């Protein structure tokens, strides 16, 4: 599994193209070729995967049997339905599908945040508010994390 690192300020041009910072591009395994997968994130952001990692993710999803419940089927459908293949062009850019642009409310100033096998794409303003926590809230979050990790 790939493990991407980095946070990058990027710009979307008028055509909705996002140029991938060379430092991030350099982290792609050779095998990636020129294809990525973009999907909606849970929050107001998009998520990029290599095609391989995306297939792994969906494989995990599909390991859960559809017979189980309507909710399972619904979740799988919704989760998968935003996914799009995108091509990296000669200038290391991808064209972000319009629907997804709108979903994540992306303006010209965006942020790419890599962590693990996911690369999140945020509008800069929204990202900053997402990260803006005061100390009290932070320690609450930490506590929650602690609990949930131990529940597993």
Q: Would you tell me which residues interact with DNA (CB under 7 A)?
A: 10-11, 13-15, 19-23, 25-26, 87, 89-93, 95, 98
Q: Given the complex with DNA, which of 90 and 152 has the nearer CB atom?
A: 90
| Cβ density class 28-64: b for 16+ within 10 Å, e for less | beeebeeebbbbbbeebbbbbbbebbbeebbeeeeee
- Which of a second copy, DNA, none is residue 107 near (CB under 5 to 8 Å by kind)? none
- Which of a second copy, DNA, none is residue 3 near (CB under 5 to 8 Å by kind)? a second copy
Q: Given the complex with DNA, which of 35 and 58 has the nearer CB atom?
A: 35
Q: Which residue has the tokens 């990027």?
A: 10
Work out whether strand 17-19 and strand 93-95 pair parallel, antiparallel, or are unpaired. Answer: antiparallel
- Which of a second copy, DNA, none is residue 20 near (CB under 5 to 8 Å by kind)? DNA
Q: Which residue has the tokens 């395994």?
A: 29
Q: 90 φ, ψ to 5°?
A: -60, -25
Q: Binding residues for a second copy, per CB under 8 A?
A: 3, 5-7, 9, 23, 27, 37, 42-43, 51, 54-55, 58, 62-64, 66, 68-78, 80-85, 99, 113, 115-116, 120, 130-131, 133, 138, 141-142, 144-145, 148-149
Min dist. Cβ of residue 96 to a second copy (A):
13
The two structure tokens encoding residue 118: 């996911």
Q: What is the distance of C-alpha 5 from the center of its chain?
A: 13
């Amino acid at each position: 599994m790939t493990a991407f690192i980095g946070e990058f300020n990027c710009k979307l041009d008028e055509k909705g193209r996002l140029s991938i910072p060379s430092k991030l591009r350099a982290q792609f395994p050779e095998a990636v070729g020129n294809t990525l997968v973009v999907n909606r994130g849970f929050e107001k952001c998009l998520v990029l995967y290599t095609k391989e990692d995306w297939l792994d993710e969906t494989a995990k999803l599909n390991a859960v049997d559809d017979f189980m419940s309507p909710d399972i089927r619904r979740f799988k459908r919704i989760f998968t339905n935003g996914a799009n293949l995108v091509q990296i062009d000669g200038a290391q850019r991808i064209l972000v599908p319009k629907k997804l642009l709108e979903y994540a409310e992306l303006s010209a100033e965006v942020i790419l945040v890599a962590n693990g096998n996911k690369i999140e794409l945020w509008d800069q303003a929204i990202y900053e508010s997402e990260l803006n926590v005061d100390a009290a809230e932070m320690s609450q979050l930490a506590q929650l994390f602690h609990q949930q990790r131990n529940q597993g």
